[in-house]
Structure 1
Amino acid sequence: MSFILLVLLTLLPAVFGQSWQQYLDGLVQALNTDGLTTLASASAALNSSSEGQLVAQSLSAGNWTLFAPNNQAFSSAPINLTSDPTSVRNLLSYHVVHGNFTDQTSSYPKITLGRTLLNDSSLVRLEGNESQVLAWSKGGKGIFVLNNGTIVPVVNKTVYQNLQVLVIGSVLEIPQNLSDTLANSTYDITTLAGALSSINVSTDNSTTLLNVLNNARGITLFAPNNSAIATANCIGGLLPNTTALIALFGNHVINGTTVYSPAFTGGNNYTSASGEPFAFKTNSSGVYVSSAGSNWAHIMRSDILTSNGVVHVIDSVLLDTKVNASAANSAYQSATSLAASMTTETGPVGVAPTTSVGH
C-alpha cells in the first residue's frame, strides 16, 4: 500500500467520524438484512485490496446512489464474484452513482445520466479521465436503467446512511468499446460498423476509420441505422473517393467530447470532426440533428454508452461532405482544454447545475 493511501485511510476516522471499515461493515450488514446477500458478500470483498478500500472510503462521505442487483440477478449473470478483486471492484463501481437525485428523473424518452465510480483506464477512455456514466429513465412503473440494449427496472428502494439503494433485477454490464457496440444487432447499426471498417485512413491500409474512432478518447457518434445507409445513394457514389467518405462520416462525429442527450438543448454549440457545425431542434415527434444545414435526421435512440463515449442512432445519413480543418482542430483543442478542468458531477450529467431535470 502506498504511503499516501495509508495516510488517507488513517485520517478518515477523524475527518468523517467513522472509519471506512465501520461504514463498510454497516453497509454489508444492511444489505444482508435487506436480503441482498450476494451483493453483501461482493461488497465485503472490497476490503481485500487497497483499490477496493478506496471505493469504500469514497462511499463513506457525500451522497451516493447504489443500483443494487438482487440475489436472482447474480445467479443468472455470467460473472464469478470469487474472481480477482479488481473485477469485483470495477463491477461494484459501475453500480454506484455520485449524488442521489433519482427523484428528478425525467420520463422516457428523456434520459437521465449519472457519473459512476468506475474509472479503470482499461475499461473507460472518456475525455479528461472522467469516470463512466450510467443511463436511466422513468416509465409508468417507475425508474429503469438502460444497459447494453436492455431495460432493467428498479424493483425496490431502501436507504443506508448517505446511500440511496435502488434494487434491480439484473447485474449491469460495463459499456463496451465502439466496435462491439456497433456490432450489437439490438441497436440496428451493424451496417455502419462495416462501412467504417472498410475506409482506410493510412497509406499502408493498416488503419481504418473504425480503428481511429475506437481509439479516440471522448467521442460522440451520430450513427445512421441500417436502413438509412441502405437508402443513402450518396455513399455508393463516394466509394472511389476515400477523402469524401472520411469527410462525410467525420460530420457524424464530435471529437474529444462526449455529448449526452440532455445537452442537445439549451443553446449548446458543437463542431464535427470535419469542422462543420451541428444544430439540434426538438418538436412533438422528437429531437433532430443536422450538420451545417444539411438534411435533418431524427434521433431514434440516444445515449448508447461506449467505453470511450456515446452513440446516438439516427434515421438518415447527414449529407455533408464539407471540411473545415481549422474549425475542427480549434474545436478539438477547446474540448481537450475543457476536459482537463472538468470536475466530477454530483447531479445529472449534461444538465446545467442550475437546471432541474424535471419530474
Structure 2
Amino acid sequence: MFASLVLLTLLPAVFGQSWQQYLAGLVQTLNTDGLTTLASASAALNNSNNGQQLAQSLSTGNWTLFAPNNQAFSSSPVNLTSNATSVLDLLSYHVVSGNFTDQTSPYPNITLGRTLLNDSSLVWLEGNESQVLAWSNGSDGLFVLNNGTTVPVVNKTTYQNIQVLVINSVLQIPQNLSDTLANSTYDVTSVAGGLSSINIPTTNSTLLDVLNNAHGITIFAPNNTAIASANCISGLLPNNTALIALFGNHIINGTTVYSPGFTNGNNYTSASGEPFAFKTNSSGVYVSSAGSNWARIMRSDVLTSNGVVHVIDSVLLDTKVNVSAAVSAYQSATSVAASTTIETGPVGVTPTTFAGH
C-alpha cells in the first residue's frame, strides 16, 4: 500500500505536472515536515509574477533548499508579510542550483553553490551572476557559513527534485563591502579604515568607494594585527600612489575568486598588475603577490554583495605596478564573465573534476 502511494506521488512529475501542482506539493511537504512558516512563505510565491517564475524554476532540474525551521523564523527579525520582493529575495538566497552536498569536503575546505538570488539591488557580481552560498562539513555534519556565524543542518528530507536541508537560522544575504569589513567578527576593521583614507584622484572618491561599486571583486584583507605590525604602511602614508599600488596588490578586479580557486594551476593578476601565487601545506593555504612574502589565509570566503574577502595574517609587501597587465586581466575577466553559464555543481570547481551531477 505504501509503495503504491509513493508511486502515485511521483506520477505527476513523470507525466508533466504544472508548476502550480508542483508548488502545492512542495508546500504540503514542508507543512508535513513541520516547516509551517516556510511553507506559508512558499505558498505566497503564487501571488506575484516573480514568485511564479521562481516556482517554475524549481519545478525542473535539481535543487538544494536550505530550509529554516519555525524556531529560526521566530528568532529572526525577518517579516514575511511586509514586502513581497524582500521575501522572494530571502527565499531565493536559500535555494542552490544543483544537488551536490554529498560532495562537501571537511572544514576548513568550503563548498560553494550558486543560489537563485540575482536581485540587482542586492547582488553586484560580475556577469550579473547570482549570489553564492558557502557551507562545509564538520564533526557534527553539514553547516552553512553565514555572516560570521555557522548555521548547522539539523535535519534532511526531499521533495521530488529538491534536497531539503533543515537549518536552525534564517540566512542573511551578503552585505556590501563596507558593512562586511566593519563587522568585527572578521577582524579586518583596520583595512576598512585604510581603504577609506586612500583617495583616487581620477574619481574624486576613496579606494573603498571604488571597491564598493565594483562588479566582481576579490580582496585579500590583512587582519587588524597584520595592519598594526606592518611598518611599511606608515612609511608609505605620505605617498598616496604607493598606497594605491600596495593595496591594489591585495585585490583581483573583475573576478570573484572563491577558495576552491586557490590552486597552482589558476593564474590571477592583481588590480596593480602583479601575479598572485598560492601554495598549500600542512599548516594551511598561503598567498603571495609577485614573489613577495607569503600570507596565510586565516578565513576564506567572506561573502559580499559584489565579491568575496579572504582574511590573511600579513600584509603582502608588494608596491610594484604593471598597468598593461592589470588592464589586460580586467578585460579578460569581463569577457569571461559575459559568457558565464549558471553552475549546477560546486562553484570554482572544474566541471571535469565534478563527476556524477
Please report the TM-score for the alignment, with normalisation by the length of structure 1: 0.94
Q: Deviations over 1:249-271 (max 9, x none)?
A: 00000000000000111500000
Q: Mind listing any 5+ residue stretches in structure 1 that lack a counterpart?
A: 1-12
2:217 corresponds in structure 1 to: 219
1:317 corresponds in structure 2 to: 315
Q: Deviations over 1:156-213 (max 9, x none)?
A: 0000000000000000000000000000000000000000001111368x41000000
2:240 to 233, 239, 242: 242
Q: Residues of 2 paired with 1:164 and 1:195: CA distance?
A: 43
* Counterpart residue identity of residue 300, structure 1: M
1:8 corresponds in structure 2 to: none
1:336 to 334, 338, 342: 334
2:108 corresponds in structure 1 to: 109
8 Å Cα contact 2:61-2:98 kept in structure 1: yes
Q: Residues of 1 paired with 2:185 and 2:13: CA distance?
A: 50
Q: Would the alpha carbon gap of residues 275 and 15 (structure 1) be closer, same or farther in structure 2, given more than 3 Å must change?
A: farther
Q: Residues of 1 paired with 2:23 and 2:280: CA distance?
A: 45
2:8 corresponds in structure 1 to: none
Q: Would the alpha carbon gap of residues 159 and 15 (structure 1) be closer, same or farther in structure 2, given more than 3 Å must change?
A: closer
Q: Residues of 2 paired with 1:193 and 1:121: CA distance?
A: 24
How far did 1:214 drift?
0.4
Describe the SS at the equivalent of 1:164: strand
2:9 corresponds in structure 1 to: none
1:289 corresponds in structure 2 to: 287
2:256 to 255, 258, 261: 258
Q: Residues of 1 paired with 2:14 and 2:118: CA distance?
A: 25
Q: Would the alpha carbon gap of residues 16 and 116 (structure 1) be closer, same or farther in structure 2, given more than 3 Å must change?
A: farther
Please report the TM-score for the alignment, with normalisation by the length of structure 2: 0.95
How far did 1:18 drift?
1.2
8 Å Cα contact 1:16-1:61 kept in structure 2: no
Describe the SS at the equivalent of 1:270: coil
2:205 corresponds in structure 1 to: 207
* Counterpart residue identity of residue 166, structure 1: L
1:5 corresponds in structure 2 to: none
Of residues 194-203 and 213-222 in structure 1, the stretch that sits farther from structure 2 once superposed is 194-203
* Counterpart residue identity of residue 63, structure 1: N
8 Å Cα contact 1:253-1:273 kept in structure 2: yes
8 Å Cα contact 1:221-1:253 kept in structure 2: yes
Of residues 15-24 and 184-193 in structure 1, the stretch that sits farther from structure 2 once superposed is 15-24
2:171 corresponds in structure 1 to: 172
Q: Would the alpha carbon gap of residues 45 and 303 (structure 1) be closer, same or farther in structure 2, given more than 3 Å must change?
A: same
Q: Residues of 1 paired with 2:14 and 2:213: CA distance?
A: 40
1:274 corresponds in structure 2 to: 272
Q: Would the alpha carbon gap of residues 167 and 49 (structure 1) be closer, same or farther in structure 2, given more than 3 Å must change?
A: same
How far did 1:119 drift?
0.2
8 Å Cα contact 2:345-2:354 kept in structure 1: no
1:121 corresponds in structure 2 to: 120
2:70 corresponds in structure 1 to: 71
Q: Deviations over 1:240-293 (max 9, x none)?
A: 000000000000000000000001115000000000000000000000000000
8 Å Cα contact 1:225-1:313 kept in structure 2: yes
8 Å Cα contact 2:264-2:277 kept in structure 1: no
2:30 corresponds in structure 1 to: 31
Over 3 Å off, 4+ runs: 13-16
Q: Residues of 2 paired with 1:84 and 1:287: CA distance?
A: 42
Q: Deviations over 1:228-248 (max 9, x none)?
A: 000000000000000000000
Q: Deviations over 1:114-149 (max 9, x none)?
A: 000000000000000000000000011100000000
8 Å Cα contact 2:113-2:347 kept in structure 1: yes
8 Å Cα contact 1:178-1:213 kept in structure 2: yes
How far did 1:343 drift?
0.3
Is structure 2 residue 352 aligned with structure 1 residue 354?
A: yes
Q: Residues of 2 paired with 1:325 and 1:266: CA distance?
A: 24
Q: Residues of 1 paired with 2:50 and 2:201: CA distance?
A: 40
Q: Residues of 1 paired with 2:191 and 2:282: CA distance?
A: 28
Q: Mind listing any 5+ residue stretches in structure 2 that lack a counterpart?
A: 1-11
Describe the SS at the equivalent of 1:118: coil
How far did 1:346 drift?
0.2
